[in-house]
Structure 1
Amino acid sequence: MPNILGIAAFYHDSAAAITIDGVIIAAAQEERFTRIKHTPDFPVHAITYCLEEAGLTIDQLDAVVFYDKPLLTFERLLQTYYAFAPKGIVSFLKSIPVWLEQKLFLKKQIRDGLKEVMKYDKKKLKLLFTEHHLSHAASTFYASPFEHAAILTVDGVGEWATATISEGKGNIITVKKELTFPHSVGLLYSAFTYYLGFTVNSGEYKLMGLAPYGNPNSEQTKKYVQQIKEHLVSIKEDGSIWLDQSYFNYATGLTMTKDSKWEQLFGLKRRSQEAELLQEHCNLAYAIQQVTEEVVVKMAAFAKAETAASHLCLAGGVALNCVANGKLLKENFFKDIYIQPASGDAGGAVGAALAAHYMYFENTREVDPQKDSMQGSYLGPYYSDKEITQVNKRYKTVSHKEDDFDTLTKTIASEIADGAIIGWFQGRMEFGPRALGNRSIIGDPSNIEMQKKLNLKIKKRESFRPFAPSVLDTDAANFFDLETASPYMTLVADVKKSAQKEIPSNYHELPLLEKLYCTRSDLQAITHLDFSARIQTVHKETNPKYWQLLQDVKEKTGKGILINTSFNVRGEPIVCNPDDAYRCFMNTEMDILVIENYIYYKKEQPDWDNKEIWTKTFKKD
C-alpha cells in the first residue's frame, strides 16, 4: 500500500498530488495558495496541504516522484543550441547559467523544498523521476474508467517529446510513437497565441475563444489556412508535423516567432496585448484553430490504427482545447474519450504519482467502468465554520446562516431567476483550470445582458471571452448536441437547433462587438459565436449540492442550467479559501456570495460601495 507524493514544478503551473494505494487523496496547484497565477515555484503550500489531507509525514512516504527528467531537457537544450549555432547566443547565455546553478541540481532543490514543508530523514527519502509525457499519459489512463485504451498526449514540449501515442493495458503504458522537438502542435498554437497578443502558457484558451469570431467563408480566412499549411507546417497522414524553423524563434530565441517573416507572410503586424482586435486577427485565430483540429484528428485516427483500442485517453496542454476535443468526439473513432481535467503541467503531479504506483511498484489496477478516479476533480482543500467565522470577524461582514441547505438552494435559485450574479463557494476546491461548481460565479444563461455584465463588471476581462454552462446531466441532451457526459468542461458541442435564433445574413461581416451582442439563442450568455458551448454536465454522485441548486433553478426557470465561470477576476488564480472569496466578491459587482451555509448580500456589507477599499488589480494574463 504505497504512499506516493507527485510533484510538478519549476516551469509553470506547479502542483502536488498524493496517492495512497493508488487512490488520489488530494491534489492542488501552488498558485491557489500563493495567489501568483501559473507560478513555477516549488509547491511548498500544495505539498503541505496534500500531506495534511492524507494524514502523512514525509517520512511515511514510500516515494516522492517528479513529473519530468531534467537531464534529458538539458540535453535537448545543448543539442538545440549546437544545431542552430551561432544563432541563439543571447538565449544561450541567459538560460544555461540558470540550468548550471539550479535545474541540474534538481534533486537538491526538491530535498531543500521538502525541508520547508517539514523535517524528514533524508536517508529514507526515495526520489523518482518520470518522463514528462509519461506523466501526462499516466494522469489520464490510470484515472480513466478504461482497462484498455489508446493514449494521446500533446503539448508544447517535455524533455524531447512534443506528442506521444501510447497504449494502456491494465497497469502498463507502452509508448508506440512520439513527435519530437522542435516540431510541436502545442508550440505552433502558442506561436499564434503570442503573435495575436496573448500570453504564452496562459492565453491559448483566449485564442480558442477568439477563433469563432473569424469568418469561415472569407477569402482571407481561407488564404490564412493555406499559408499556414504551405509555409509554417507540413502535416503528415499520421498527424505528425514538420515546422519550418525559419519562421519560428522559440528554439534558440527569447520570442516565439520571427515577426518580420510572419508580417510578410500574413500581411499583419504582431498585435500588442491591449490593442484593438480586428477582423483579420479573428480570421487568423480561426485558421490556426482549424489546422490544429486537423492535426489532432489525424493523430487520434493513427492512435486508433496503432492500438485497435475502443477508447481514447487525452492529456497534455493541447487536450484543454475543448473545441478540438468536440471535433474529435464527432469523428466517432472511439466508443468513448476520457480527458484528464488537469491536462496541463499541474496534472503531471497526479500522473507522476500514479505512474510510480503502477509501473514502479507494479501494483495491480482495478477499473470501475462506471466512473473515473478523479472524484469530480474536487481534490483541493475544504474550509469549515471556523475559517468562515474568522473571515466574518476580520471584515465585520453581514451574513445570514441557513442551516437547512434545501432552503438555501431554493433562496439562491430565486435570486438567480431574478437576475442576480452569485459567488458560489462550496466543499473542496477543484483541481485543474476549470471551476466546476465549488469555486464558481454563476447566473442565469438566458439573461441577455449576462455575458456582457460578467466580462466587464465581474471578471474584468476582454469582452469577447465566452462563458460555459453547467447543466444537469439528465437535461444536457435537451439543450446540446451531446450524447456523452462532460463533467470536467472539456468538450464543446452545439446548442440545439431548437434553441437557436435566426441571425442576420451579414452576420460574419459584422464588427466583433456587434457580432457578440447579436441574439443567437435562448441561452444567449453561454452560446458562442458559432452556436457552440463548452459544457459541464453536473452529476448528483460527485457534486450533490451543485446538483440540488440546478434542480431548484429548474423549478424556478424551467431550465436546469446555469452560466458558470471561475471565481476570480482577470489575472487572479481561482479563489481557494473564504478570505479569497470575500475579497473577490467585494472587488466586483457580484450581487450575492454563498460560502457553505452563509449568505452575504452585497448591499448589506460594510463599505460595499467604497470601491477604493476593496479594489485589487492583478497582473493581466
Structure 2
Amino acid sequence: MSYLGISCGFHDAAISLLNDSGDILFASHSERFSKKKNDPDLCPGLLTELVNIPNSKAHTVCYYERPWNKQLRQLYSGQGIDWDKLTTRQILKKQMGFWWPTYKNCKIKTYNHHLSHAAGGFQTSPFDDATVVVIDAIGEFDTCTIWSASYNKEGKAQYKLLWRQIYPHSIGLFYSAMTKRAGLKPLEEEYILMGMAAYGITHYEMLADFLSSSEEIRFKYNCHLGVDNYEPEITNENIAASAQFIMNVLLWEVLRRAEDFYNSNNLVYTGGCALNCVSNEKTGTYFENTWVMPNPGDAGSSLGAAALAYGKKINFEGPYLG
C-alpha cells in the first residue's frame, strides 16, 4: 500500500506516490501532461498515468496544506472565502473528478503548508539532522519559517518550529511584486528577474523604501497589493538588480537567525524562494552543508505531504521521477 501526496488548486499542481518502504513510485507535475505552464489543477493525463502504475493503490491521501487556514488568510487579506474549498475532501473531489471514487475511502491527512515544504526537503536530504529554512510567498499565514529536524531512535522524522514570519511580511511576495513591476509575469517569471539583475545597477535606497526591519523581515507595505507605480523612472534592469540585492540581504538575515537557533552544520533550504540560485550560493557562509531538493516549490510539497505520512527518510536517488 502507498501514500499519495497531492499539491493543487493554486499553481503548479503535482502528485507523488510513496510505498511503505519509502520508495518513490511516481512524482510529476500536472503541467507535464496538460502542457499548461504552472497548471494549478490535476489534469486527466496525470491522473491516468497515476492509476496505471503498478501498486498505485493508496491507503492514505496526503494534502499539502490546510484549506480552512488558507481561507482564513484569504479572508484576512480581503480576497474573500472560496466556500467550495473549505475542506480537503471538497478540493480533492473537484480536482480528481472521475478518479475520486478510487480514493474517496482512503484515509485523508492534511498538513501545514510550510511543514510539507520542510518534510519534502529534510526527508529527501542526506542528513540525519538539520536546520530547515522555508521561504515562499504565502503558505496559509506563514511566509518564512525555521525548523529543527532530526530522526528519533525509531527513524521517525521530528520537526520543531523555531521561528516564523507571517503575512503580509513576505520575501516571496516582494520578489513577485518586483517581477511584475519589471514587466514580467509574477509567480512564473521570477527566474527572468533574477537573470536580469546582472544587467542592472543596484539602487540601495530600495532597502529603506520597503523594509522597516530587515532583521525581522518586516515590510512597510503589503507587497501582495503590488508595487507597479514604484519609482517609474528606474529601469527594469535596475529594478531587478535592486530586488535581487534585497533578496540576498533578507536571506542572509534569515540564515543568520537560523544558525543561532539550532546547533547543526546542515541546512535544508526549501520553499519557492529556494529556486533563486543566485541567493543560494550565500548559504555556505553560515552552514557547512546545504541541501535544496530539486523541486522546492509547491509541487515538491506533494512529496513532502506523503513523506510526513510515511514518517521516515525517503529513498531519494535523484530527481528523474516522473
**Could you say what secondary structure the match of 2:160 adopts?**
strand
Q: CA deviation at 1:55?
A: 2.7
Deviations 1:534-583 (A, max 9, x none): xxxxxxxxxxxxxxxxxxxxxxxxxxxxxxxxxxxxxxxxxxxxxxxxxx
| Structure label with greater radius of gyration | 1
Of 199-208 and 228-237, more deviation after overlay is shown by 228-237
CA distance in 2, matches of 1:121, 1:205: 36
Identity level (%):
31
What is the CA-CA distance between 1:285 and the residue it aligns to? Answer: 0.9
Alignment-derived partner of residue 154 in structure 2: none
Is the CA contact (8 Å cut-off) linking 2:6 and 2:302 kept in structure 1?
A: yes
Other-structure match for 1:307: 262
State the SS of the aligned residue for 1:72: helix
Distance in structure 1 (CA, Å) of the matches to 2:5 and 2:47: 9
Partner of 1:157: 138
Cα distance in 2, alignment partners of residues 6 and 165 from structure 1: 23
Shift in CA distance, 80/118, structure 1 to aligned 2, threshold 3 Å: closer
Aligned length: 316
Equivalent pair of 1:193/1:199 in contact (CA under 8 Å)? yes
Q: Determine if the alignment matches structure 1 residue 377 to structure 2 residue 304.
A: no
CA distance in 2 between counterparts of 1:120 and 1:6 reads: 15
Q: Using a 3 Å threshold, how does the CA distance of structure 1 residues 338 and 249 change in structure 2: closer, same or farther?
A: closer
Instruction: Give the SS at the match of 1:137.
Output: helix
**1:289 paired residue number:** 244
Shift in CA distance, 115/283, structure 1 to aligned 2, threshold 3 Å? closer
User: Pairwise mapping of residues 167-206 of structure 1 onto structure 2 (< 5 A)?
Assistant: 167-170=148-151, 171-206=157-192
Question: 1:210: how far off?
Answer: 0.4
Residue deviations 1:482-541 (CA, integer Å, cap 9, x gap): xxxxxxxxxxxxxxxxxxxxxxxxxxxxxxxxxxxxxxxxxxxxxxxxxxxxxxxxxxxx
Decide which structure has greater strand share: 2
Q: Distance in 2 between matches of 1:230 and 1:335?
A: 31
CA distance in 2, matches of 1:64, 1:289: 38
> Which structure ranks higher in relative contact order (CA pairs < 8 Å, sequence separation ≥ 6)?
2
- Partners of 2:193 and 2:240 within 8 A in 1: yes
2:193 to 191, 207, 227: 207
TM-score by length of 1: 0.49
* Corresponding residue for residue 544 of structure 1: none
Letter in 1 for 2:189: G
State yes or no: 1:350 paired with 2:303.
Answer: yes
Matches within 5 A, 1:374-523: 374-380=316-322
Q: Tell me if the contact between 2:34 and 2:43 (Cα under 8 Å) persists in the aligned partners.
A: no
CA 1:25 to 1:327, structure 2 compared with 1: closer, same or farther past 3 Å? Answer: same
Q: What residue identity is the alignment partner of 2:143? A: T
Cα separation, 1, equivalents of 2:198 and 2:16: 36
Question: How many angstroms apart in 1 are the aligned matches of 2:89 and 2:55?
Answer: 25
Residue of structure 2 in register with 1:341 after alignment: 294
Tell me the equivalent position of 2:278. Answer: 323
Which of 198, 204, 207 does residue 229 from structure 1 map onto?
207
Shift of 1:54: 4.3
Would the aligned equivalents of 1:317 and 1:345 in 2 still touch at CA under 8 Å?
Answer: yes
Question: What does 1:450-599 correspond to in 2, within 5 Å?
Answer: none
Superimposed CA distance per residue, residues 15-36 of structure 1 (whole angstroms, 9 cap, x where no aligned partner): 0000012222210000110111
CA drift of 1:295 comes to 1.0
Provide the rounded CA distance (Å) in 2 between the counterparts of 1:76 and 1:184.
Answer: 14
- Equivalent residues in 2 for 1:195-274 (5 A)? 195-215=181-201, 221=202, 224-226=203-205, 228-237=206-215, 240-245=216-221, 248=222, 250=224, 253=225, 256-257=226-227, 259-260=228-229, 262-263=230-231, 267-268=233-234
Distance 2:246 2:236 in 1: 16
| Compared CA separation, residues 134 and 54, structure 1 to 2 (3 A) | farther
CA apart distance, 1:50: 3.2
Which residue does the alignment assign to 2:66?
69
Are 1:44 and 1:113, in contact at CA under 8 Å, matched by a contact in 2?
no
1:5-154 matches, within 5 Å, as 5-21=4-20, 22-57=22-57, 61-81=58-78, 92=79, 95-96=80-81, 99-100=82-83, 102-117=84-99, 119-120=101-102, 122=104, 124-154=105-135
SS of residue paired to 1:376: coil
Residue type of the partner of 2:129?
H
Match of 2:86, SS state, is helix
> What is the DSSP-based 3-state SS (H/G/I as helix, E as strand, rest coil) of the residue aligned with 2:139?
coil
Contact 2:267–2:290, Cα closer than 8 Å, also in 1: yes
Contact kept? 1:71, 1:104, Cα under 8 Å: yes
Give per-residue Cα distances to partners, 1:203-249, cap 9 Å, x unaligned: 1000001011124xxxxx3xx222x2212113443xx311112xx46
Q: Secondary structure at the match of 1:18?
A: strand
C-alpha deviation, 1:127, in angstroms? 1.2
Looking at structure 1, the residues matched to 306 and 103 of structure 2 have their Cα atoms a distance apart, in angstroms, of 20
In structure 1, the gaps of 5 or more residues are: 82-91, 216-220, 269-279, 359-364, 367-371, 381-621
Q: Which amino acid aligns with 1:326?
A: E
Secondary structure of the residue that 2:15 maps to in structure 1?
A: strand
Detail structure 1 runs of 4+ shifted over 6 Å in the superposition.
none
**Which sections of structure 2, spanning at least 5 residues, go unmatched?**
152-156
Give a deviation string over 1:130-186, Cα, whole Å, max 9, x none: 111111000000000100000001000010000110011111111111110000000
